[in-house]
Structure 1
Amino acid sequence: MDQQVIPFDLVRMFIGEQPPLFYAEILFRTVLIYVYTLAMIRWIGGRGVAQLSMVEFLLVIALGSAVGDAMFYPEVPLLAAMAVITTIVLINKVLDRLIVRSDRAKTTLDGRPLALVRDGRILLDAIDHRDLGISEIKSMLRLAGVENLGELRAAYLEAGGGLSVFRAHPPRPGLSLVPPRHLLNPPPATDKPLAMDGQTCCGICGAPTGAQIIATRGRCSHCDGRAWQSPEWPAGTGEQDKGGTTPKE
């Protein structure tokens, strides 16, 4: 039978039954778990971190666990929890200083920006490096207000999870992202010439190519897809209904 807990037992609350050397073990365990968790989060990538850096994200997790355990479990001494919290904060301060003073440390801890789009085409490297799907990339672009890949010169997924978008001047015809593909009714046909000035574009990654590829039922050289769509002018260019000419600057 468990020993009955005596309320406001100051020795239990602050010290517990552990020997003094146990606090050295706490410091070791905290550093080890912090470093291991940081490595795991870096391996996972930044898709779920939103605007927090990796270090800030881990700080929230680590402090939440340390503070929560001390609040709810009577067998966790407060001094032990305070030692964990202090160690976590000190590690975080040291890492912050390293990140400010060293670009190499910032890259190691937070990662690098990743190119998602270049010249109106989604880059498949993003899928390999951050476990992102093409549909997820298109969703992120729509959330950034992008309606058509032809609007973009480049787009980057920053280390903290934010999206940086650089517009093309002038915009080009490209793959429309609005509405999302699953809402199209009927879906775009793949067996007829959907071409503008002899051009078509991949319905998956947006890569432009010659319209003759439709007749040969060829695959996209970038994503290996076979869904071809007519490239559309981005809204606001004045060329949506004309087709074939470059918009004036």
Structure 2
Amino acid sequence: MSQVVHPPESSYNLLPREEFHAQKPPRYMSKHRPAVVLEQKSSKDAMRTMGPAKVEVPPPDEYLKKHSKEPKLPEKTQDSKEARKACTVRKPAVPARTDIPIMGLRSNRDFIKTAIAVSMKPKPTCVDSRKGHKQLLENSGLVPKYIKKRDYGEVPEYLQQRNEEEQRAQEAYVNSVKEQREQGAMKHLSDEERQAVLEGLKKNWDELHREYQGLSLVTDTLSKKSRKERLEAALKQLETDINRFERFKTIYIPTKQNH
């Protein structure tokens, strides 16, 4: 069972107390409230219906007929026919084939520009991507327009000129070698002599290479640096001479020097 709790006894509780009720201020009401309520109610109730909208139903004999909503031309009357017959202005007749055209007529119209503007056609293009990128067909390389040139398939002039210069230089070199051979200024090396010279060049290259390998790794002085450069130049020259003797089988050497 629940225990009843009594307030503690006090002398102040013996005197009766007056109950105090706080009064709230009156609620604010706008003076335009009735007009707003009436306007809102009228706008809501205007579209509120029960069942189908109440509209005027046409009578049964005025049903929708075929072509009834198409625009109609005004009916021809007797006045319109008389006004058409009363028109005396007529267009000139078509000139005959034997008529001579009138000379000296001038016009401000540019017939050339008009003809060009009328006859302009879109330029052919080609699309080369799935996103629609296009370019002129003439510049795309797909049109064989170069085969229609007059000089198509012929050697260009600059190549002909260069070939002629090379041929003249070769002929001049052959003639000079022939003249020197006839005068005894050049000597043809035999295979034994060429082999002996080649072996001597390789031997010299081995000696210089052995000397080059014995150089110091640190080139801290000018003498070391100059000696290294001199050996490198001599080895490079020997390698060039060896390559020439191995590459060419026919070799001519000058027997005397012209001062």
Q: Provide TM-score, normalisation by structure 1.
A: 0.19
* Bigger RCO (CA 8 Å, 6+ sep): 1
Q: Provide TM-score, normalisation by structure 2.
A: 0.18
